[in-house]
Structure 1
Amino acid sequence: MTHTGTVPPRTDTTPVTPVGDSFRGSGRYSWKPYALLWRREMARLRHNPVRLAMGLLTPLLFLVVLGTGLEAASSSLGKAQLNDYRAYLFPGVLVMSVQAPAIAVGISLVWDRRAGVLRQMLVSPFPRSSIVLGLALGGATTGGIYGLLVLSVGGIASISYTPMLLVVFVEVLLISLLFTSLGLLAAVTIRQVDTFQIVVSLSLMPLMFFSGAMFPPNGLPGWLDTVVKLNPLTYGVDAVRRTLPGPDSLTSEQTRLLLGDWNPPIAAELGLLAALTALALALAAHRFARSS
């Protein structure tokens, strides 16, 4: 079906690398397409510092303004508990920070299709799945950079700077890869930029709000408890919360995620996220390979 509407102007002014020409001339199973697409996403980030700043603005507003405001609004909470709630909110803010940069990869794929850049990649001698995987690696790395910047200001939420933050960073990379995979799956299914942005925005909001990022996941009304426990992002936020070095409020009985009387181990939560990521990537690569 031919789109007859007006194409909105592209907001990303980063020069587009001629990936089609660079793709040609190497062996079928070379690492080149992965490295090329990864470098392309890094170039987009490097040439657009405003995108980096704006991507960090919302998470920091949630952490500083919302965290402080909710504490100040409760007369029953003392000053000593201020940082405790910020610490509880911090894992959700950290996960929130990797959403936008990861999903932006899906938007760039839709734009590349409209601009004709994608055709150059499709005629290369490499498997089409390598294009999806290369974009996924670039998007996950971009999200990881955002997460690293948020981790660097964890001190305002009483997060301790210990080697355990390296483990947290690996978890953030996995969550970023999950977001990127879901964004790419949507991008190979939806061909219109406006439609893609609306669908992704409406999907991400409930994922975050029903993840236990802002309130404890236990003791909720029946329907809300079910939604929270079925949300895969709940387990990502819980894994990050239990790994972060900080106040006791991060791992207290009130904030611990329970499935009945069972508290799932962190390894099981990360395994669930890894399985969902692999499934989303496989579906995206399969659908992309069948598209023209």
Structure 2
Amino acid sequence: MTGLTRVLRYLHDFAAATHAVWLREVLRMLRDSGQIVGAFSRPVLWVMIFGIGLTPYFRTGLRETTFMVPFTYIQFILPAVVVLNLMYPAIQSAVSLIWDREFGFSREVFASPTPRSAVFFGKLLGGGTIAMAQGLLVLLLLPAANVPVSYASLLGALVPMATVALAFTAIGLFLASRMSSFQGFGVFANTLILPAFFLASSIFPLDPSLSMEQALQSFPAWLVFLVHANPVTYAIDELRWVMLGYRQFDPITARTVLSAFVLIPVIMAYHAFRR
């Protein structure tokens, strides 16, 4: 057998193992009716309760909100709801790693010739696929929110959505690789998701017409710092640009942060998983 043949055989076996793990993760989600119900109910509740309930307070014509006049509040938060519907299933998909370890499936897989890296990428892509499917469901609400829908905007939304899906799946795998209980994982997951979402300019805007000094006069310094340091901020901002043609932050900074946001967790999770 030549060297090229061995390489091709290895790549074929690697892809087959990755696909098998990916398919297992996706089928697990399809058989879980709770995940499917949550995927539908979560965005509808957020849009109805926050979007409709808070719209009057963002249409007052006050100085603090005049830059929001071209958009309704529902339109403003809809990209954030897309990201929220990506974050939850992405990070929760890593629970399967604890489940597999608890019931012996991991021992059987790792005792086989299957490369551990193939298992990792299968779980990473499986969690990312599940998250993308649930995030795409929110896009069905675009016509109801009176957001223009085009093929270009839908395709443009896929990049920041995939970034969030893969990043939070990797974060979940990193946590699950270091934890042995479902309860501890759930606490860490919720402790991470909620601050990351609320500190991402998701439900309240930072006026882009203000300089940093002016923003610090309007908001506490710690809040401005955390919003700018939060990678989720830039994912939501990219989605707002694609859907509404509106952004709050520099696009070069946003894309640089998002690139690091997906690479660093994947590398960390890969090393934790292999150990």
TM-score by length of 1: 0.79
Query: What is the alpha-carbon distance in structure 1 between the residues aligned to residue 270 and residue 177 of structure 2?
Result: 9
Other-structure match for 2:140: 152
- Residues 29-84 of structure 1, C-alpha deviations (whole Å, 9 max, x = no match): 5211210111112211222233212133222211122111112457836xxx6962
| Larger relative helix fraction | 2
Other-structure match for 1:241: 240
State the shift of 1:289 in Å. 1.4
Contact persistence 2:82–2:135 (CA under 8 A) = yes
1:42-53 alignment, distance < 5 Å:
42-53=26-37
State the shift of 1:286 in Å. 1.2
Other-structure match for 1:87: 75
Other-structure match for 1:10: none
Can you give the 5+ residue segments of structure 1 that lack an aligned partner in the other structure?
1-25, 258-262
1:1-292 alignment, distance < 5 Å:
27=10, 30-72=14-56, 76=60, 84-163=72-151, 164-218=153-207, 219=215, 220-244=219-243, 246=244, 251=246, 256-257=248-249, 263-265=250-252, 268-290=253-275
State the shift of 1:240 in Å. 0.9
Query: What is the alpha-carbon distance in structure 2 between the residues aligned to residue 151 and residue 96 of structure 1?
Result: 13
Query: What is the alpha-carbon distance in structure 2 between the residues aligned to residue 150 and residue 223 of structure 1?
Result: 31
Query: What is the alpha-carbon distance in structure 2 between the residues aligned to residue 82 and residue 242 of structure 1?
Result: 14
SS at match of 1:188: helix
Q: Percent identity between the aligned chains?
A: 28
Q: 1:125 to 1:202 in 2, by over 3 A?
A: same
Query: What is the alpha-carbon distance in structure 2 between the residues aligned to residue 82 and residue 217 of structure 1?
Result: 15
SS at match of 2:60: coil
Residue type at the aligned position of 1:40? R
TM-score by length of 2: 0.83
Contact persistence 1:27–1:125 (CA under 8 A) = no
Residue type at the aligned position of 2:248? R
